[in-house]
């Protein structure tokens, strides 16, 4: 089935840092916004399609995923849960799935060893492997990929990387504009359109949502799913109201 024949998904993103949920601007995740379990319980009731849980310090601090923590959280989560942060081995993926994750999000490890995507997809299935790609524009106006929570410029051109990621077997891509992240100034629509036109796998738009219209435009530009954090943390806007808005715009959505 083609990626645009699937129902559009609304996916809140939970960023985890040292026992707290955080959200910042341009990947400076210093502002505490609450705790994970209460957030999961709220989202369980708000008809979200999935949740993304990312440990934003694990790769920076060379830590492994906290499998006990994920097991605790997943037991309270009644929607599909994507987990990322600190993944360095196939065994890490195996243990996260055993702990209750439904999908695995990988980023930093892929730049060290792109064959890791192939191995993971072969063992667990492409539908389980989500590759997160964080980008900034360089001085020549090209998008470059960053690793380790946006702190390391890999020097890799986005177009080259998304094609490699797809070839290696990723099931979908989360594309995040570091410059837009947390600003609530709207998604980088040019970025979403560029990625959509160059891969066949689903694209999850992330970074910058300010309102439901931003989500609608991202979908029109090719996003198969909408990831957002600040809009749900800091405004009265909700995933359910986002769905109602999109439904009125004739977007195929789960309601």
**Is 91 part of any domain?**
yes
| pLDDT for 174 beyond 60 | yes
**Is 253 part of any domain?**
no
Q: Is the pTM of the predicted complex or chain greater than 0.85?
A: yes
Which residue range is the domain that position 95 belongs to? Answer: 3-248
Q: Are 187 and 213 in contact (CB under 8 A)?
A: no
**DSSP string spanning 185-254?**
S---HHHHHHHHHH-SS-EEEES---SHHHHHHHHHTT-SEEEESHHHHHSS--HHHHHHHHHHTT--B-
| Mean pLDDT of the 221-245 span | 94
Share of the chain above pLDDT 70, in %: 98
**Where are the alpha helices (H) located in the chain, listed in sequence order?**
36-45, 67-74, 90-99, 108-112, 115-124, 158-168, 189-198, 212-220, 230-234, 239-248
pLDDT of residue 28: 84
pLDDT of residue 1: 37
Identify the helix (H) or strand (E) that includes residue 149: none
| pLDDT for 249 beyond 50 | yes
Residue written as token pair 């310090």: 57
**Is 92 part of any domain?**
yes
| Mean pLDDT of the 4-15 span | 87
| Mean pLDDT of the 180-205 span | 96
**Is 75 part of any domain?**
yes
Strand partners, 232: none
Rounded-to-10 torsion of CA 188, 194, 198, 203 = 20
**Is 157 part of any domain?**
yes
**Is 254 part of any domain?**
no
Domain containing residue 42: CATH number:
3.20.20.70
Task: Count how many domains the chain has.
Answer: 1
**Is 8 part of any domain?**
yes
**Is 255 part of any domain?**
no
| pLDDT for 49 beyond 80 | yes
């Amino acid at each position: 089935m083609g990626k645009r024949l699937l129902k559009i998904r609304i996916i809140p993103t939970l960023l985890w840092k040292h026992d707290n949920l955080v959200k910042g601007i341009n990947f400076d995740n210093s502002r505490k916004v609450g705790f994970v379990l209460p957030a999961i319980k709220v989202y369980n009731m708000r008809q979200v399609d999935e949740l993304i849980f990312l440990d934003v310090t694990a790769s920076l601090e060379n830590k492994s995923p906290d499998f006990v923590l994920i097991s605790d959280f997943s037991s309270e989560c009644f929607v599909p849960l994507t987990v990322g942060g600190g993944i360095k081995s196939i065994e890490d993926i195996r243990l996260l799935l055993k702990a209750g994750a439904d999908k695995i999000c990988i980023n930093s490890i892929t730049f060290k060893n792109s064959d890791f995507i192939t191995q993971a997809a072969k063992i667990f299935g492409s539908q389980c492997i989500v590759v997160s790609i964080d980008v900034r524009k360089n001085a020549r106006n090209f998008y470059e990929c960053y690793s380790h929570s946006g702190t390391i410029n890999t020097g890799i051109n986005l177009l080259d990387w998304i094609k490699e990621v797809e070839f290696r077997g990723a099931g979908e891509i989360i594309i995040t504009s570091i410059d837009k992240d947390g600003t609530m100034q709207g998604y980088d629509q040019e970025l979403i359109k560029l990625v959509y036109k160059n891969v066949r796998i689903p694209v999850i738009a992330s970074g910058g949502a300010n309102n439901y219209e931003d989500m609608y435009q991202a979908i029109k530009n090719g996003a198969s799913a909408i990831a957002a954090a600040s809009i749900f943390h800091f405004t009265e806007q909700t995933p359910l109201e986002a769905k109602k808005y999109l439904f009125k715009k004739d977007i195929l959505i789960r309601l």
